[in-house]
Amino acid sequence: MNDTARRAALLAEALRSELDAEAVITDDAEREFCSADLYASGVTCALVVRPTDRAAVARAVAAAARAGFAVIARGGGLTYTGGYAPVREDTVVLDLRRLDRIVEIAPDDMYVTVEAGVTWKHLHAALAPHGLRLPCYGTFSGAGATVGGGLSNGALFFGTARFGTVADALLGLEVVLADGSVLATGQGALTAAGKPFYRTFGPDLAGLFVHDAGVFGVKTAATFRLMRAPACSGYASFAFADAAGAIAALSAVARADLAEEAYAFDPETTRRHLADVDIGGALRALAAVARGQGGVLKGLRESARVALAGRGSLPLDAYSIHLVCAGRSDAAVTADLEACRAVARQHGGVELPDSIPKVVRAQPFPPLDDVVGAEGERWAALNAKIAHSDAPAFVAAAEALLASHSAGMERHGIRVSRLMIAVSNHAFSYEPVLHWRDAWLPGHRRAMSSGKLARLHEPAEDPAARALVHQIRGQLVDLFVAHGAASNQIGKTYPYLSVLRPESRALLEGLKRQLDPGGALNPGALELSTG
């Protein structure tokens, strides 16, 4: 037994005496699973701990710190940045998915408090009977992605075109620091007992723990502001001859605040999504559609439109944008849709059947089968946020970089798709996704349904294709940095500390020393100390 294994055994014994026996896991398969995301695997961690409450988290963090172990907090693990991949063998991974309680829904004060392991799907479902929701209410992967992970990594999509990211609705946090102490932010930090209804009473301490990849503390609970779920919704899709038209229309819709969701696909992605529209699933989701359309009869008519939408009407090589408008009345939604149509026409758009946004809205948190493609291929996304006015030139530069690799990509069977998203009225998100055939990571196998696993054969290892994917991703990240782009998930993929101005860098390093003097919390993330 080497020294790390000996220390891990002693720590496991100590933790089992402080926590329930099931919380401490030394199984090889579980340690391997919790040491990887959907793109990268790191050094296999020494222990996995699955606490059930804040007190258990605090005890585990403090015990690990005393033993000289690194600590990485993990939620759903559905990222592509290696943010949860350990860089040291003596690492404890805290799997927070058992912190899954809805603590308080406060309709009169319009906030909700949840534990960090709650999924976006679970939270959305809990709010629905109250006629409430979050402004931005989750991600495509919300069936498995957790609130804590989303705040650590920058969750966005549903509601993002109007309301920004989930962080924009955050009111306060409960965070376990590296020494096991518990910090509260916002109104929840006051000594007087009160309600966590406000974020910025004094300096915004919550912001330190947003998009931090868990380097400053372990989030155990979060409070968000709520909104009334819109009474009415409307949908529209448009085809464009080229990327320039789609980009211009997407930004124009965002600037005018016309839609809750506004996203664009490249031609291949457009065709694939139209072909994959699950009409049966859409019709089974009729209740959701009907609620959003003001009645059962109208919902039936709208769902029939989904079923009858002509898939053959898509122009070849078309880019497409997809919009969801929402509001208090049919008249308001109709007005927004008409304004969207005018914007699309101005930029050369041709209206398509609205199947894609309607089905996505009716079934926002599907099973996680799409972690691999239809033929079992892996995929990995990158993300860059840029100002709307800079988007055309930025996307052109990224596409030129991808084109320079076309021969190698063809040789290794690598293809690329693109997703572009409006992030409120101030940011444009460009997301190139690389697809290739390669052996799966544990997260792929764990996320897929048994039915999809049974239908697919796992591809063989392809280290050459993987190396080229890694090279292209690295060059794209360099391009993002050169253009001053932001990103959703920093993790251990995107530079952060090294690209800051000296004053900001010094402040960040000082905060790390103050909050985590031993460098125990997720070493290497944000380019901070490896401990």
Average pLDDT of span 282-301: 46
365 vs 137: CA distance, rounded Å: 11
CB atoms within 10 A of CB 334: 14
211 vs 213: CA distance, rounded Å: 6
Contact 249, 349 (CB under 8 A): yes
Average pLDDT value over all residues in the chain: 91
172 vs 520: CA distance, rounded Å: 24
**pLDDT band of 316, cuts 50, 70, 90:** low
DSSP 8-state symbol, 146: B
**pLDDT band of 295, cuts 50, 70, 90:** very low
193-197, 244-248, 315-319: least confident range: 315-319
388 vs 229: CA distance, rounded Å: 28
| β-sheet bridge partners, residue 24 | 49
| Alpha helix positions (H), 313-371 | 330-346, 355-362
CB atoms within 10 A of CB 83: 29
Of residues 1 and 308, the one with the higher pLDDT is: 1
> Per residue in 138-152, pLDDT tens?
998 999 999 999 999
26 vs 5: CA distance, rounded Å: 11
| Alpha helix positions (H), 23-103 | 28-33, 54-66
Give the pLDDT of residue 192: 87
Average pLDDT of span 74-95: 94
> Per residue in 351-395, pLDDT tens?
999 988 998 898 899 999 999 998 999 999 999 999 999 999 999
> Per residue in 166-188, pLDDT tens?
999 999 999 999 999 999 999 99
154 vs 377: CA distance, rounded Å: 26
Beta pairing, strands 70-74 & 91-95: parallel
Percent of the chain at pLDDT > 90 equals 83
Average pLDDT of span 463-485: 97
pTM: 0.92
Average pLDDT of span 471-480: 98
Query: SS3 string of 33-55?
Result: HCCECCCCECCCCCEEECCCCHH
18-22, 60-64, 226-230, 490-494: least confident range: 18-22
CA 338 to chain CA mean position, Å? 31
Average pLDDT of span 72-83: 93
